[in-house]
Amino acid sequence: MKQLSTIFLLFIAVVATSFTQTTNQVIISFDHKAGANLMDLGHTVFPIWNNKMVKLTRAEFYVSEVEIHHPDGMMMPLTDQYLLVNANAPATEFDLGAWPVESAHGVTLHLGVPEAVNHNDPASYPASHPLAPQNPSMQWGWSAGYRFMAIEGKVDNNGDGVPETNFEFHNLGDALYKTIELTSTVDAENGVVHLHFVLDYAQLFKNMAMTGNLIQHGSATMNAAMMNNAATENFLTMATVTATHEVEINSLNIKASPNPANTETLLEYTLPSAAALDLLLTNTLGQTVRSYTGLSASGTVRLESAALPEGVYQYVFYENGNLLARKQLVVKH
């Protein structure tokens, strides 16, 4: 009886702790790069390991079964969370909800969709769910399951520096599901644990000759090689996000005039940077509609908005892939 009482008291203590533990919003974001430079899908040309030049026109992949490493070594699984990461929407931030996490000392995540749900019917999910039907499709059929990663583009195989040969790697199959463990310390700030990752798409092609049949849909040798590279060749690394208050302070030193904009607006900025800056204008879907690279630490940028649909946009400054400042721009014709 005494033993039962002790077990009951321990159970009560655990339950009480779970109710009193501070929860924070978990946000995940990505920098899409090719080497050291931000990648502009459909435009950036970059070298891979054998110095062939590559340009990507599609780059999407799933992230599943994210677990946050607590300082005490325990793991906090963020259950039922699936991310469809798309280089066509590089500024997207994934809000995974509130969890009892005050500090992350690392993350375990998986590339692809776990076998338990990989063969579900996409139509069974709400339209906004990452596993619902997508356009272009990320699902190969009930038997094969989801495309874990879809990478398309062109590679330079005639040596003139201009990519001309099409390739498509649609990597799928339960055997290609990959685990990645990353270490970095991220503390909650203003109620948010922001996990920020850097992607280097050049690493996906490590030790791949990129010759022969480059239309590979399935789990063949080249598909497996790309997924192995994604898991082992620093395709995905964990970065420290610039503190939120620093971003807020920097954002006081950028402005767009006029705002709302009709045909054009002038962006004026002064930022604490010793390196060249990148500027992205993104729509509400996180898709880049304008990009500028190699900017100085202060200056002006004339942004034409006549061809943009009316709506709310964000203009965002980066230094070496790190967020420096951002504000909203309204386009109204």
Q: Are residues 213 and 131 in the same domain?
A: yes
Q: Are residues 292 and 218 in the same domain?
A: no
- Model pTM score: 0.75
The pLDDT, as a whole number, for residue 132 is: 97
In a domain, 7, yes or no: no
Please say which residue of 239, 269, 288 terminates a domain. 239
pLDDT tens-digit profile, the chain (333 residues): 445 454 444 444 444 444 446 899 999 999 899 987 888 899 899 999 999 999 999 999 999 999 999 887 889 999 999 999 999 988 888 999 999 998 898 999 999 999 999 999 999 999 999 999 999 999 998 789 999 999 999 999 999 999 999 999 999 999 999 999 998 888 888 888 989 899 999 999 999 999 999 999 999 999 999 999 999 999 999 876 545 567 878 888 999 999 999 999 999 999 998 889 999 998 877 788 899 999 999 999 999 999 999 988 989 998 887 788 889 899 999
In a domain, 225, yes or no: yes
Question: What is the tally of structural domains in the chain?
Answer: 2
Which single residue is written with the structure tokens 């139509």?
Answer: 123
In a domain, 14, yes or no: no
CATH number, position 295:
2.60.40.380
In a domain, 15, yes or no: no
Q: Are residues 77 and 163 in the same domain?
A: yes
Q: Are residues 126 and 253 in the same domain?
A: no
The pLDDT, as a whole number, for residue 14 is: 44
Q: Are residues 216 and 292 in the same domain?
A: no
How many residues in the chain?
333
The pLDDT, as a whole number, for residue 286 is: 74
In a domain, 1, yes or no: no
Q: Are residues 27 and 110 in the same domain?
A: yes
Q: Are residues 68 and 214 in the same domain?
A: yes
Q: Are residues 167 and 300 in the same domain?
A: no
Q: Are residues 209 and 286 in the same domain?
A: no
The pLDDT, as a whole number, for residue 276 is: 92
Tell me, letter by letter, the H, E, C secondary structure of the chain.
CHHHHHHHHHHHHHHHHHHHCCCEEEEEEEEEEECCEECCCCCCEEECCCCCEEEEEEEEEEEEEEEEECCCCCEEECCCCEEEEECCCCCCEEEEEEECCCEECCEEEEECCCHHHHCCCHHHCCCCCCCCCCCCCCEEECCCEEEEEEEEEEECCCCCCCCCEEEEEEEECHHHCEEEEECCCEECECCEEEEEEEEEHHHHHCCCCCCCCCEEEECCHHHHHHHHHHHHCCCEEEECCCCHHHHHHHHCCEEEECCCECCEEEEEEECCCCCCEEEEEECCCCCEEEEEEEECCEEEEEEECCCCCCEEEEEEEEECCEEEEEEEEEECC
For residue 317, the enclosing domain spans 244-331
Q: Are residues 213 and 249 in the same domain?
A: no
Q: Are residues 64 and 123 in the same domain?
A: yes
In a domain, 73, yes or no: yes
In a domain, 320, yes or no: yes
Please say which residue of 177, 208, 239 terminates a domain. 239
Distances (CA, A) of 269 to 94, 246, 253, 275: 28, 15, 6, 15
The pLDDT, as a whole number, for residue 188 is: 87
Please say which residue of 239, 267, 298 terminates a domain. 239
Name the pairing type of β-strands 192-200 and 322-331: unpaired
Q: Are residues 42 and 158 in the same domain?
A: yes
In a domain, 290, yes or no: yes
Rounded distance, CA 209 to CA 189, Å? 45
- Residues 40 and 291: beta-carbon distance below 8 Å: yes
